[in-house]
Amino acid sequence: MKAFVTGAAGFIGSNLVDRLLALGHEVTGYDNFSTGVESNLAPASAHPKFRLVRGDVLDLPALERAMQSHDTVFHLAANADVRFGTEHPRRDLEQNTIATFNVLEAMRLTGAKRIAFSSTGSIYGEPEVFPTPEHAPFPVQTSLYGASKLAGEGLIQAYAEGFGIRGFVFRFVSILGERYSHGHVVDFYRQLCEHPGKLHILGDGHQKKSYLYVQDCVAAMLLALEQAPDRLVNIFNLGTDEYCEVRDSAAWICARMGVNPEISFGGGTRGWIGDSPFIFLDTARIRALGWKPALTIRQSVETTIDYLLPR
């Protein structure tokens, strides 16, 4: 395929780029480097089938120019910050909803025919069914991030129906692994680097969360593109078939770092406004295509700490 990857210099984007190149595909990476990191693309940059375009997904003419002659778009560029949504309400609208609209418009204008979209388990709000399947009851959003991804999904579905684009929507749990830079594992890691004797956990630590290793995530996306039913829109939850409490992951992180801090808690069942106290997705649909994750949640956390620790 000729793949176009937005957010190519990001955590998941750059891992995807490496995998696509390893499989022999041509890849154009598109990134504005607002949160993407140059060094994430160091391996790709040496590859003859990789091309990097510096640009913003909010710049539709630039996006359209860069997207010419690609068949498959992996749209990973996003504001990935859930926690601070209420401090800058416009950011999710612009960087997630309007950006996705622009990607779809560029596809319509250039004739690109498939989009794979990084959606989120946050889109289920606070579900009543666990593990939560893709056809869960119509959810109520609890975060601006979830709302902006919901809007992105809706746009992809409408473009699929209206313009014959094929949409692959992936609702991720939190992703961990090499190049991970954002979220509670790195927050805990940084706290413990600074003060190995103290760890502060938001909420009561009993929030139940799910994680997936980035290589498992990338493998699932690529498998779905190959194997999914011949429908305009395919939606897949991506996660493991387990969850952990924040207290568990904190303990694994401490053990891996060889520290034994005094732990304090912010209290309450949620770490912040819009924090979901329980995320556990039903992944039967992607498993039915033959996918299964290589790493457990604990192994993902440990692999991430190994990556973060100085070599």
The binding site for its own copies (CB under 8 A) comprises 85-86, 89-90, 93, 97-98, 101, 104-105, 108, 125, 134-144, 146-148, 150-151, 153-155, 157-159, 161-163, 233, 235, 273-274
Query: In angstroms, what is the minimal distance from the CB of 154 to its own copies?
Result: 3
C-beta closer to its own copies: residue 112 or 151: 151
C-beta closer to its own copies: residue 278 or 307: 278
Query: In angstroms, what is the minimal distance from the CB of 126 to its own copies?
Result: 9
Q: Which two structure tokens, joined as six digits, stand for 286?
A: 């992607």
C-beta closer to its own copies: residue 71 or 105: 105
Query: In angstroms, what is the minimal distance from the CB of 101 to its own copies?
Result: 5
Tell which phi-psi region holds residue 265, choosing left (phi > 0), alpha (psi between -120 and 50) or beta: beta
Q: Which two structure tokens, joined as six digits, stand for 47?
A: 């590859």
C-beta closer to its own copies: residue 8 or 147: 147
Query: In angstroms, what is the minimal distance from the CB of 276 to its own copies?
Result: 11
C-beta closer to its own copies: residue 88 or 182: 88
Q: Which two structure tokens, joined as six digits, stand for 246?
A: 């924040």
Cβ-in-10-Å burial (0-12, 13-18, 19+) of 87 comes to: exposed
Query: In angstroms, what is the minimal distance from the CB of 1 to its own copies?
Result: 24
Q: Looking at beta carbons, which pairs linking 126-131 to residues 24 or more positions away fall under 8 Å?
A: 126/276, 126/277, 126/278, 127/278, 130/278, 130/280, 131/241, 131/280, 131/281, 131/282, 131/283
* Catalytic residue check, 145: yes
CA distance 34 to 14: 14
List Cα–Cα distances, 66 to 145, 191, 207, 253, in angstroms. 27, 40, 42, 41
User: Which one of 124, 145, 211, 243 is the catalytic residue?
Assistant: 145
Q: Which two structure tokens, joined as six digits, stand for 6?
A: 């937005």
DSSP designation for 1 = -
Catalytic residues: 145
